[in-house]
């Protein structure tokens, strides 16, 4: 028997004992073995017999006081930066340890772009900036988007966006039909959730921009009953098992706790599926699941292109989440950066455009907080589906998120990624070939899934 979970990478003692214990029916006893996250003593770090640099032991789910929520940087800066932060993107004290929030913001300087997104980046411009081929791109299989609550105008809005940019539309009038080839909505519980305007904005960004980068892939929109972590994870389990799914994009998050890793990390695994998660929209915030070793952590940049759309430069978006986890041990794919990262998982892995002042065009007709129709969106909720779509369009196959990240980190410092060398988010500065604030950089072509 072999554990189907990333924890086996971090617990060699358990890996050695487990086959013997299983044959004796002693699995429950082994899970309490000291130093393996099961309630025994825990050393600060250890080196494996294979010679890995020191890394932290597995987190333990303890009933400890959660930290006080500080006002996210974007909320403080919203008035001066001309940005709207929807209520669903603001974490409250009551959310901690219980529910997730969205990671999108809206530019108030260009809330009504002309048809085609003249005041926000259009899909062809993003594809050109990231060097991923002539537009429209390819794509195959399916991308699953997981969000909470219900988006009542999803089908009409998706088709408005798609037709505006010459992308495939969904001809079916039933968004729930399993025979749909372009867009299908799935209720995670089998029952329609209640409508929610903030989450509808999030879903519009997610489905439209995953489709924009991989128009040949089917998009599943999987709706969780609520934004509680338990409901969200239930939706993840539904999404990853849907036919043809190669990528799962999750643009939500919550301040990390040890219990999230212990209770939910295994949900972000499925053979042949890569999970992507937005790193957050508050400077240096550290969110789950973005810091899970079972996901690709996606941060954000400020993007500059020329008038034709060619990439000119990128810098760290000052309001992106990033930094070392306080709980998750450093995974194998980050061992090469031990001197920078330390014992714990570091985020982010890769970035894409997220600054709302260099944001993307989105269409959502479900009126909310004075917004209806075209608007310009930012946040790592934009970056996440863009990267997931680009990976799908590459046509490359990966056995897991960790398999993808292993290949991604091998490209650090190469021409397959744009190096980001300016800007910072909180105390974390840009850097190449890797930094907390940039990961390995941003996509530059379709090499190895980029």
Task: Report domain extents, the chain.
Answer: 73-449
CATH number of 73-449: 3.40.50.200
So what's the pLDDT on residue 306? 87
Nearest residue to 26 (alpha-carbon basis) of 9, 38, 42: 38
So what's the pLDDT on residue 342? 96
Global pTM?
A: 0.88
So what's the pLDDT on residue 204? 98
Alpha-carbon distance of 121 to 403, in angstroms, equals 31
So what's the pLDDT on residue 1? 34
So what's the pLDDT on residue 12? 35
Which positions of the chain have pLDDT values less than 70? 1-50, 63-81, 110-118, 135-136, 448-449
β-bridge mates for residue 13, sequence order: none
Phi, psi of 52 (to 5 degrees): -65, 150
Name the H helices within 87-243.
123-129, 154-164, 197-213, 229-240
So what's the pLDDT on residue 309? 83
So what's the pLDDT on residue 36? 35
Alpha-carbon distance of 420 to 430, in angstroms, equals 6
So what's the pLDDT on residue 284? 87
179-218 exposure pattern, b = at least 16 Cβ within 10 A, e = fewer? ebebbbbbbbeeeebeebbbbbbbbbbbbbbbbbbbbbbb
Q: Are 419 and 441 in contact (CB under 8 A)?
A: yes
């Amino acid at each position: 028997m072999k554990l189907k979970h990333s924890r086996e990478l971090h617990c060699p003692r358990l890996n050695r004992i487990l086959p013997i214990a299983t044959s004796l029916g002693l699995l429950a006893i082994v899970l309490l073995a000291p130093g393996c996250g099961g309630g025994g003593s825990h050393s600060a770090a250890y080196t494996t017999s294979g010679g890995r640099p020191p890394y932290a032991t597995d987190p333990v789910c303890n009933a400890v006081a959660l930290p006080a929520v500080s006002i996210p940087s974007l909320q403080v800066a919203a008035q001066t930066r001309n940005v709207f932060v929807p209520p669903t993107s603001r974490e409250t004290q009551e959310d901690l340890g219980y529910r997730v929030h969205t990671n999108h913001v809206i530019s108030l300087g260009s809330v009504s772009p002309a048809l085609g997104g003249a005041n926000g980046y259009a899909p062809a411009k993003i594809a050109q900036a990231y060097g991923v081929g002539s537009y429209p791109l390819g794509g195959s299989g399916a991308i699953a988007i997981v969000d909470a609550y219900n988006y009542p105008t999803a089908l009409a809005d998706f088709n408005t966006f798609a037709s505006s940019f010459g992308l495939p539309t969904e001809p079916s009038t039933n968004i729930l039909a399993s025979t749909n080839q372009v867009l299908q909505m799935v209720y995670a519980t089998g029952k329609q959730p209640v409508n929610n305007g903030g989450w509808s904005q999030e879903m519009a960004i997610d489905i439209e921009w995953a489709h924009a980068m991989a128009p040949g892939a089917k998009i599943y929109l999987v709706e969780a009953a609520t934004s509680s972590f338990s409901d969200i994870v239930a939706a993840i389990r539904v999404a990853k098992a849907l036919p043809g799914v190669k990528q799962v994009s999750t643009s939500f998050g919550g301040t990390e706790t040890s219990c999230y890793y212990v209770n939910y990390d295994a949900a972000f695994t499925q053979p042949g599926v890569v999970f992507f998660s937005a790193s957050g929209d508050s400077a240096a915030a550290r969110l789950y699941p973005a810091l899970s070793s079972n996901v690709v952590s996606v941060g954000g940049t400020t993007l500059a292109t020329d008038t034709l759309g060619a990439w000119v430069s990128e810098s760290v978006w000052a309001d992106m989440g990033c930094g070392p986890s306080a709980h998750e041990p450093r995974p194998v794919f980050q061992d090469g950066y031990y001197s920078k990262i330390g014992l714990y998982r570091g985020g982010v892995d890769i970035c894409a455009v997220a600054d709302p002042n260099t944001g993307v065009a989105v269409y959502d007709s479900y009126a909310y907080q004075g917004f209806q129709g075209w608007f310009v969106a930012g946040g790592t909720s934009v970056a996440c589906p863009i990267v997931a779509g680009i990976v799908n369009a590459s046509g490359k196959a990966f056995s897991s998120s960790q398999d993808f990240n292993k290949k991604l980190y091998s490209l650090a410092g190469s021409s397959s990624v744009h190096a980001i060398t300016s800007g910072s988010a909180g105390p974390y500065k840009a850097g190449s070939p890797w930094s907390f604030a940039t990961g390995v950089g941003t996509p530059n072509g379709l090499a190895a899934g980029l």
